[in-house]
Structure 1
Amino acid sequence: MASEPVAGSQSVAAFIPEFEHLVVEVMKEWKVPGLAVAIVQDLEVAFIGTYGLRDIEAGLKVTTDTQFQSMSVSKSFAATGLALLVDERRMDWKKPVREYIPEFRLYDAVASDRVTVRDLLCHHSGLPRHDWIWLPGDLSPAQMLAALRYLEPSADIRSAFQYSNLGYLIASMVAERVSGRTWAEFTRSLTDKLDMKVTFTVEELAAATDAAVPYGMMGDTCQRTKLWPISVPAAGGMSTSITSFANWLRFHLGQGAFEGQRLLSSGLIQELQKPRVHVGATGFAEYSDVHYGFGFRSHWYRGERVVWHGGGFTGTNALMMMLPDRGVGVAVLVNNGMTPILAPHILANYVFDRVCGKEPVPCFGRFREQRRKFVTQYEAWLQAGKAAPTPATEPHRALADYAGNYKHPGYGRMTITHAEGKLHWAFRGMSEPLAHRDSDTFELPEAPESPSGLLPSRLSLSFSTGEDGNIASVAVPLDPLVKDIAFTRVAAEHF
C-alpha cells in the first residue's frame, strides 16, 4: 500500500513558476543544451517540463518523449528486477553468486565462494571499479565474466563500499540465468507493465526518432560528443523518456503497486531502499552521510529521508530522487555530461524544500561558485600546460625497443608501434600517439583532445626490462585503488 502523505506537504502546483525560472538559470549557468524534468506527488504526475534542445546542430527541441540515457540510474532497474525474482521465490539474493553462475570466479578464491548477489547490489564484493574492462565497449558479458578472476581486489569482501559497474553486470547475468531470458527481455517485462518506453543499447537509442544527442564539457565549453557503447546495460545502458521515468517514480513511491496492480511486495521495495553500506559524507550541513542499498542511495536532507540514484557519462546526466515518506519524487534528465552533475540536484532539492514548506537552501549559488572556481582552475591548468616548455629528457633506449605486443589476461591486448620517430599506442579500439614523460615512461594526451572520444586521460605507461635487459612489460595505472596493471610482452604468434 502506498505511504500516506505527510501532513503539511505543499502542493507542487504552488511553486511551478519559480521552479521553471530556476531551471532556466541552471541551464544557462551549466551550459545544458536540453533538459527534461518530472515531479510526482501522491502517486500522480504533478508536473512534466521540457526545455532547450536535444540536438543543437539540428535545432531540435526536447519533448516529453525524448529518449535520454539513464546511465547508472539503470542500477535501480537491475536491483528491482532481482527483487521480482526474490518475490516469486525463484532466487535468494543472500545466496552465493556461484549457485546461479557456477563459472563465476574472482581473483581471491575465498571471495569467489562467498560473494552473494546482495554483495554485488550494494558494492561490497571487494572489487574496485576496474572500469577499463568494460569502457571500450568491445567485450561481451561472457568475456568480462572470464576477466574477473584476473582483476585484483582492493579490499576484503564486505569490508568497504567500492562502486563496481562490473558487479551489476554479474547481477544482471544472475537474472538471466534464473529467468531464462536476456536481461533486456526480462527487464522489459516489468517496464511494459509500467507503460515505459525504454532502450537498452546505444544502437537502439541512435535509431530512435526522438533521441537526445550527448554533449560534453571541456572547461566552460559545451561540445558534441560520441554516443559511446555501454557494454554493461544493467549498470548504465538504459535510456528512456521523462514521461516514462515519471512512471518509474510512481511505481517506487507506490511501494511496488502501479495503477491498482501489485507488481512487487512493499516489503521488498523497502529492502531495496534500506541503507546497508556506508558511502561517505557530503560536506554540507543539510545532509547526513550517504549509504547504499540495492540499486539506490539514501541520506537524510533537512530531516527528510531521501532515496535516490544518479548517473553520468561523457554526454549525459540523469537523476531520480524521492522523499518516500511524503510521496514525492523528482526525475531530471539532461544531455550534458560529467561536470554539470550538480545541476539536477539543485532542482530536486528546491522541489523538496518547497514541498516541505521550508525556505529553499541556496544550492544554486553554492554550486555555481564551485563550478566557476573549477572552470577558472581548469583553464589556468590548460594554459600552464601549453606554456610550459617540454622537458629536455630522452628515453633510456631507442624508441623502437619499446615497440611490441603486450598482454594482460583480464584487460587484454596492447600494442606499441614505432614509426616516423614516434611511438603509437593501440588498445581495444583506442589509439593515440605517445609522448615521452621521463626515463622509460610515456603518456597519452589529454582526453578532450582525443578524436576517439574516449581515452584514459594522461595515462602513463612505464616500461620495465627483463633479466636479458630487453623491455619485458609495461605497467599502466588503469585503476587507482590497485597496483599498476602489468602487461607482459609477448611474441606476435601468442598475441
Structure 2
Amino acid sequence: MSSDSSKLDLGDLEGYMETLVRDWHVPGVGVSIVRNDEVVITQGYGHRDVVNARPFTSSTLFPIASNTKLFTAVAAGLLVERGLLSFDEPIRNAVPSLRFYDQSLDAAVTLRDMLGHKTGVPRYDMIWYESDYSTKDLFDRIRFMKPIVPLRSRLIYNNMMYEAVGHIIELISGKPWQQFIRDEILVPLGMHRTLFTYGDAKADEQGDYALPFSEGRNSNEFWQPPAPKDDGCSPAGSIVSSLEDIARWSIVLMNDGLIDGKQAIPESVLKATLAPGLPWPTEMSDVFGFKTDLNGIYGMGRMTAAFRGHLLTSHGGTLRAFHSQVSYLPEEKIGVSVFVIGDHCAPLSNAIGFDIYSRALGLKETDWTARLLDFRRKAKATMRKARERAVPRAVPNTQPSHDLADYAGSYEHPAYGTFDISTDGTQLQFGFRQVKLPLNHFHYDRFDTADDETNGAWSVSFLTSMLGDIDRAAIWLDQAEAVFARRPTRPDADVLARLVGTYETPLGRKVGVKLSRDGDISLFHPGEPADVLKPFKGLQFRSSDFPDITFEFALDEDGRAKALRHWNAHVELEWPRIDDSIPADALEDGGLVKS
C-alpha cells in the first residue's frame, strides 16, 4: 500500500532495499513510512517464509516483541486519565495485592517507575520467557525480585514490570489486558490486523504471517529457530501486527492521538509516555565505536534521543529471529517502522530508519548499514574462532559424589519455577520449560549440556546438605546464580495416615505424631510447640526447627509404622511405636487441633 511518495525525496528506495536484502542475506524485511497523517509506503522485501518463497507483504503479521510495551503504557495511561490509577503515587495505594521485594519498595514504587524501568530491579527474564505462567502468576512473583541498585538511580530494562502492569490493568478495569487493548486502542484506531499471540497469527484466515529464519552461527545457511509460543498473551511483548497497522499506530502517535479526523487517544496520555525518565544505557555504541543517536532518555514504553540534530522517538522489539523498530521525528512528523526477519541482520531494524531519515531530511548520508555489516561479519568470525578454540577447563580426574540416580528429581525456585533432572542410568537429562538436553559430567558435582545452537549451553551445579544429600542445584540465570531447592517426594495420604501414633524415646518420654488437616505430619512432645516435618524422600522427613535432623519411619509387614528413627551428623536413635492413639495431654499442650 502506498500514497503519494513524492512528498518525501527518498531516492531509489527500491534499489536501496534490494541491495540490503542481497548484502545482508536477509530472509525478509518490511518498511512502513508515514508523514503527517498519510501513509507514504508500506512494503515488504524478500520473504516472510524463505523456504517456500512466500513474499513479505504489507499485511504480513509480524511479532513486534517489545513494541508491545507502548500499547501497555497507553492502556495504563487511559486508566490514569479516568482517575483510576496515578502515575506518581505508590502503586500499592491502588493495588494493595502487589508486593515488591521489601517494604521500602512497597511504599515507594510508582506506575511510572514500573513503566520507565526505574525500580532498580534486574531483568529476571527467565521467569517469564517461554513459561506457562499467567499474568497473575508473574504479578505474584514480583516479590521475589531483588533490586541491585536504589530506586530511580539507574535504568534497568525489566519485562516483568510490564507483565505486572498488564495484570494491574485487568484488576482495575475488570477486563483482561488483551481485551482492554482491543476495546480501547485497536478497535478505535482501526487496527484490524493486530493480534495478541503468534498462535493468533498462525490461525489468520489469510495465512500471511512471518516465519523465523536466521543464518547458522557457523555458516551462511538459513535455519529455522523455534517460533514464539502459540499461546499466552504478554503485556511486555506478544503482540503481532502488520506494516499497514503499524502505519496507523505511527500516525496516531505523531498526531497526538488524532486519526481519521477523530481523537482516538487523549493527547495527555501520549505526552505522558514521552516525559523524560532515566538515561538509556550506551554500551552498544561503545562497542561499535560510533554513535547513531545521542542522549537517549526513556519515558514509558518508548524513548527520545537526538538523531543528527533532530528529535527522535523510538522503541525496539526483539524476539529470536524477529526484530522491529517503531520510530518517528516529532517535529517533522515523519515516521519509519522496520520489521526484520533474522538475528544476523537485526541491526537493520535501526539502520534502515537512520538511512531513510537522512534521505528525507536532505542530510548527507552516512552509510550506517555498511558500518554495521562490517561489524556483524567480524563479530561472527570472531565468535566462530572462539568456539573452535574453546577448551574445557574442568578439574581433571574428578567424579560425581553420588550415583546418578541420586541427582534425579525436580528442583524449585520461588521465582523461576521448576526444572527436572532425569536419568536413564548412564546419563542425566536436563529439562527446563522448552529446553530438553542431555547433561554430561564436567567435574565434581557440576554437569553441563553441549553448546546447543537453539538453546545455548547450560551448567548445573548440585549442592549437598549437611547430611550429604543432594538437596539443591544452582544454575546461572539472568546474569546471577539461582539456587533451586529439591522438591520433596510426598507420600500418599493413606501412607501418611499409617504413621500417626505415639512413639517412645529411649528415656521413656512419649512423643506424638499427628496428621493435620493440611496433610502435614507433625511431631510434638508434651508441653512443646509442634514441629512440622517436611517431606524429603520416601518416608524420610526433615525437621522444620532443626534442618540437620532427618526422621525416617520404618514400616512392618502390614505397612503400618513400627518405629521412628532420627539422626544428625553425630547421633542416631530409634523410637518404637507403642500405640496408634495420641496422648490427650500432648495434644492440649502441643497446641494441635484434633482431627
TM-score (normalizing by structure 2): 0.76
Alignment of 1:55-94 (within 5 A): 55-94=49-88
Q: What amino acid does structure 2 have at the position aligned with 1:472?
A: D
- CA drift of 1:278 comes to 1.1
**Partner of residue 397, structure 1:** 401
**Partner of residue 24, structure 1:** 18
User: Does the alignment pair 1:177 with 2:161?
Assistant: no
**Partner of residue 145, structure 1:** 139
1:158-178 per-residue CA deviation (whole Å, 9 max, x = no partner) reads 221111111101111222222
Alignment of 1:16-415 (within 5 A): 16-17=11-12, 19-189=13-183, 190-196=185-191, 197-208=193-204, 209-219=207-217, 220-229=220-229, 231=232, 233-281=234-282, 282-283=285-286, 284-336=290-342, 338-385=343-390, 392-398=396-402, 399-415=404-420
- Structure 2: stretches of 5+ with no match in the other structure: 491-534, 537-595
1:83-114 per-residue CA deviation (whole Å, 9 max, x = no partner) reads 22222333212222223332211222221232
1:109-168 per-residue CA deviation (whole Å, 9 max, x = no partner) reads 221232111111001112211111111231112222222222322222222111111110
Distance in 2 (alpha carbons) for counterparts of 1:59 and 1:109: 56
Aligned residues: 475
Distance in 2 (alpha carbons) for counterparts of 1:103 and 1:202: 30
Q: What amino acid does structure 1 have at the position aligned with 2:211?
A: V
- Structure 1: stretches of 5+ with no match in the other structure: 1-9
- CA drift of 1:437 comes to 2.5
Asked which structure has the greater CA Rg, the reply is: 2
Distance in 2 (alpha carbons) for counterparts of 1:59 and 1:361: 32
Q: Which runs of 4+ in 1 moved over 6 A?
A: 387-391
Distance in 1 (alpha carbons) for counterparts of 2:14 and 2:397: 56
Q: What amino acid does structure 2 have at the position aligned with 1:322?
A: Y
- CA drift of 1:422 comes to 0.9
Task: Note closer, same or farther for the CA distance 1:358–1:252 as it changes in structure 2 (3 Å cut).
Answer: same
- CA drift of 1:184 comes to 1.0
Alignment of 1:385-464 (within 5 A): 385=390, 392-398=396-402, 399-448=404-453, 450=454, 455=455, 457-464=456-463
- CA drift of 1:277 comes to 0.9
1:376-403 per-residue CA deviation (whole Å, 9 max, x = no partner) reads 1122233334x87998543342433323
Distance in 2 (alpha carbons) for counterparts of 1:80 and 1:145: 19
Secondary structure in 1 matching 2:338 = strand
Distance in 2 (alpha carbons) for counterparts of 1:465 and 1:390: 20
- CA drift of 1:232 comes to 5.4
Distance in 1 (alpha carbons) for counterparts of 2:344 and 2:155: 23
Task: Note closer, same or farther for the CA distance 1:99–1:76 as it changes in structure 2 (3 Å cut).
Answer: same
Greater helix proportion: 1
Q: What amino acid does structure 2 have at the position aligned with 1:463?
A: F
Secondary structure in 2 matching 1:469 = coil
Distance in 1 (alpha carbons) for counterparts of 2:72 and 2:340: 22
Distance in 1 (alpha carbons) for counterparts of 2:99 and 2:108: 11
Cα root mean square deviation, aligned: 2.2
CA contact (8 A) 1:12 1:355 kept: no
- CA drift of 1:289 comes to 2.5
CA contact (8 A) 1:141 1:169 kept: yes
Task: Note closer, same or farther for the CA distance 1:140–1:178 as it changes in structure 2 (3 Å cut).
Answer: same
Q: Which has the higher contact order (CA 8 A, sep 6+)?
A: 1
* % identical equivalent positions: 27
Q: What amino acid does structure 1 have at the position aligned with 2:83?
A: R
